Amino acid sequence: MKKANKKLLFLIMIIVVLVLYFKPLALSDLINQNQKISIIRIELGTKDGIAYNNSETYNDITDEQKVNIINVFQQYSYRRTFGTLISDGSLSGLGDELMQIYLYEDNVLVNTISISSTGSISVNDKSYTLKNSQELISKILEIMNE
């Protein structure tokens, strides 16, 4: 094989790996009907120069709410970043809202999802990016407040 062909093949392999690495991941793959869901919503901000955080906990989620949350998850995908491989799941630039979602099967925690209003998401202690994260948070809150 000529040297130019080897370089071209190597370049093609790199492109394929990058495309596969950065392909969208379905948020709905993390959740199913058999899981118990627990949600904590945290609002962050300052008022009169004093920092505050308000939180709401949603533990008693009905089957109907669970189905609606799963349907909302089907509308969103998240992506790896260059830092995903070496990340510890920490999020920077949280914005003014954070949602923690805990998914349990048989009382065993199987998935932890943290969504910030700025487009950062942490899934099982790895950092990713999520478009329209504020919209997702709002839709979940609408379901919880129905």
Q: What are the E-state strand segments in 29-76?
A: 36-47, 50-58
**Tokens at residue 88, please?**
């510890």
Alpha-carbon span 24 to 129, nearest angstrom = 10
For position 89, what pLDDT does the model report?
Answer: 82
Give the containing element (helix H, strand E) for 135. Answer: helix 133-144
Q: Which SS3 state, helix, strand or coil, does residue 62 take?
A: coil
For position 82, what pLDDT does the model report?
Answer: 87
Dihedral angle, C-alpha 134, 137, 138, 140, nearest 10 °:
160
Give the containing element (helix H, strand E) for 84. Answer: none
For position 3, what pLDDT does the model report?
Answer: 75
C-alpha distance from residue 131 to each of 8, 27, 50, 103 (Å): 33, 12, 30, 22
The alpha carbon dihedral of 57, 61, 65, 67 has a sign of: positive
For position 114, what pLDDT does the model report?
Answer: 95
Other C-beta atoms lying within 10 Å of the C-beta of residue 139: 18
For position 1, what pLDDT does the model report?
Answer: 61
**Which residues of the chain are under the pLDDT cut of 50?**
none
Give the containing element (helix H, strand E) for 114. Answer: strand 108-116
DSSP-assigned letter for residue 35: S
